[in-house]
Homo-oligomer: A and B are copies of this chain.
């Protein structure tokens, strides 16, 4: 297997913060952060999405698995009030068919990642963390404007401009150029607890297997030649 993840190098100084939604990508991203840094803090953000309760449980289990002591859960459910996304607005149907085209999907939450990373940056300034890990992927998620390399580059510039002069905080996106297959293989390589993750956009007990998120995940496992350990309906 060939990925761009280096995990055997000397662990950098200081603390990292990892955004952990509870999904597979964030779990693999967390596995990478934990393998690289002496201390990793976990941040979970509730933005009023349909499946938040299940995602929070997944976050807590993954944090317990890694023995993470610094945890923060932030509530930005005002995003649901703003609306505009099938993930937070129950009047918009979660799509199960439009994954393949290049349109921005109905599950796009406008500018969402900016809110998540802003919280991480504020927290990083206070606890002195120098790295913010986010499991965004550009390959299978090309429809989301805030999952592109250009966006994260612009955000790193914003951090430089908008924090104390002595502050050094960098966003790290280890999954950015991975396919879902590579995400699965990296997770297995690092013994990430994929059985604890939750990816479904629709359901909270058994994954639906049909929404964009489930289909991408299942495709990743299939192409990796590995069985997805979570139950489907």
Residues of A within 8 A of B (CB): 72, 74-76, 78-79, 81-84, 104, 109-115, 118-119, 121-123, 125-126, 145-146, 148, 150-151, 153-155, 157-165
- List chain B residues, Cβ under 8 A from A109: 122
Task: Give CA–CA (A8, B200) in the complex, Å.
Answer: 53
B76 x A72 contact (CB < 8 A): no
Nearest Cβ on chain B to A173's Cβ, whole angstroms = 13
Among B121, B123, B146, B165, the residue within 8 A (CB) of A162 is B146
B79 x A122 contact (CB < 8 A): yes
- Pairs across A and B, CB under 8 Å, 26 listed: A76-B76, A76-B78, A79-B122, A84-B122, A84-B126, A104-B164, A110-B121, A111-B118, A111-B121, A111-B122, A111-B162, A114-B118, A114-B121, A114-B122, A115-B118, A115-B122, A145-B165, A150-B161, A151-B161, A151-B162, A153-B161, A154-B157, A154-B158, A154-B160, A157-B157, A157-B158
- List chain B residues, Cβ under 8 A from A83: 126
- List chain B residues, Cβ under 8 A from A84: 122, 125-126
> Which of A81, A114, A119, A163 is most buried by chain B, counting CB atoms within 10 A of its CB?
A114
Among B104, B110, B115, B122, the residue within 8 A (CB) of A126 is B110
Nearest Cβ on chain B to A121's Cβ, whole angstroms = 5
A145 x B158 contact (CB < 8 A): no
Nearest Cβ on chain B to A72's Cβ, whole angstroms = 7
Return the chain B residue nearest A109 by Cβ.
B122
- List chain B residues, Cβ under 8 A from A165: 145
A82 x B164 contact (CB < 8 A): no
Nearest Cβ on chain B to A166's Cβ, whole angstroms = 10
- List chain B residues, Cβ under 8 A from A72: 78, 81-82
A111 x B82 contact (CB < 8 A): no
Task: Give CA–CA (A125, B146) in the complex, Å.
Answer: 13
Nearest Cβ on chain B to A93's Cβ, whole angstroms = 17
Given A82-B123, A114-B114, A115-B119: A158 and B161 interface contact (C-beta under 8 Å): no
Task: Give CA–CA (A186, B69) in the complex, Å.
Answer: 51
